[in-house]
Structure 1
Amino acid sequence: MAKGNKISTDGGADLGQNPFGALGGLGGLSNLPSGPGPSAGKDEGAQPEKTSKRGQPNTNRGRVEIRRLTGGKGGKTVTAVSGFVGIGEQEKQQLAKRMQKVCGCGGTVKAGVIEIQGDKREPVAEILREAGFRPVMAGG
């Protein structure tokens, strides 16, 4: 494009009509609360904190399975936590980081499964209970 053919981005002239102008006379819309909507000030990706019917924080976030695996790990034992429902990858990363710190070992999140190095089923189960999950020991 030549320098003289630039399009102005200052908003330009008024369109001449408001496509929502006719909605003002309906009356039903004036009963809506004014101000920011319910999601104002929240992160776009953040999920609202679930509460029970009594308004208490939800402590039953679902059942998760804790397994001890050795296959395909070069003979090393790995504690795997799976079965998470309704939580995102970021929260799984945070849980994995906390488990690593408490257990004093390494770990990762692969395909939605938290893997912690070593047989650390008991400390992992305690962390999951504190986070509101119901851990179940599965497998051997």
Structure 2
Amino acid sequence: MSKKNSGGLVYSTETGGRTCPECRQPLDQCQCNTEQRSTSSDGIVRLHRETKGRKGKGVTLVKGLDLPEKDLKALAKTLKAKCGTGGTIKEGVIEIQGDHRDTLQTELEKQGWTVKKAGG
């Protein structure tokens, strides 16, 4: 059995970063259908607590937000300020340092999101 290669260039030093595997353009200039690239979501934001791969340090993951990168960064900045801690965005998932699921749940519900706590 052979593996199907979804293949394509993923990173190029020539273009200065990550590229779309379909059209091979930088992600910010991608010509592909953005709905096709977005993660499938049921409209529910899920809050996870995770310590795996972080030397025992816990982070809260905010998953299920189908927002453009610019809006996702703005939301992450707001959430980090509300929790008074740092964080980042990785692959469309907001990571907030520490266990702030309760704080994040109330803040996201104020903004109109349907929120569920999931996982540990």
For 2:71, what is the secondary structure of its paired residue?
helix
Return the offset for 1:139.
0.5
Q: Distance in 1 between matches of 2:51 and 2:45?
A: 19
Q: Distance in 1 between matches of 2:68 and 2:112?
A: 15
**Which consecutive residues of structure 1, in runs of 5 or more, have no partner in the other structure?**
1-60
TM-score (norm 1): 0.54
Q: Which has the larger radius of gyration?
A: 1
Identical aligned pairs, as a percentage? 44
* In the alignment, structure 1 residue 80 sits paired with structure 2 residue 56: no
Higher strand residue share: 2
* In the alignment, structure 1 residue 124 sits paired with structure 2 residue 98: no
Amino acid at match of 2:62: V
Return the offset for 1:62.
2.4
* In the alignment, structure 1 residue 134 sits paired with structure 2 residue 114: yes
For 1:98, what is the secondary structure of its paired residue?
helix
Q: Distance in 1 between matches of 2:103 and 2:95?
A: 13
Specify the alignment match of 1:63 in structure 2. 44
What do you get for the CA RMSD once the two structures are aligned?
1.4
For 1:116, what is the secondary structure of its paired residue?
strand
**Which consecutive residues of structure 2, in runs of 5 or more, have no partner in the other structure?**
1-41
Return the offset for 1:94.
1.0
Specify the alignment match of 1:20 in structure 2. none
For 1:132, what is the secondary structure of its paired residue?
coil
Q: Distance in 2 between matches of 1:119 and 1:97?
A: 17
1:71-118 C-alpha deviation (Å, 9 max, x unpaired): 011210000010123x11111111111111111100111100000000
For 1:68, what is the secondary structure of its paired residue?
strand
After the TM superposition, which segments of 4 or more aligned residues of structure 1 sit over 4 Å from their partners? none
TM-score (norm 2): 0.62
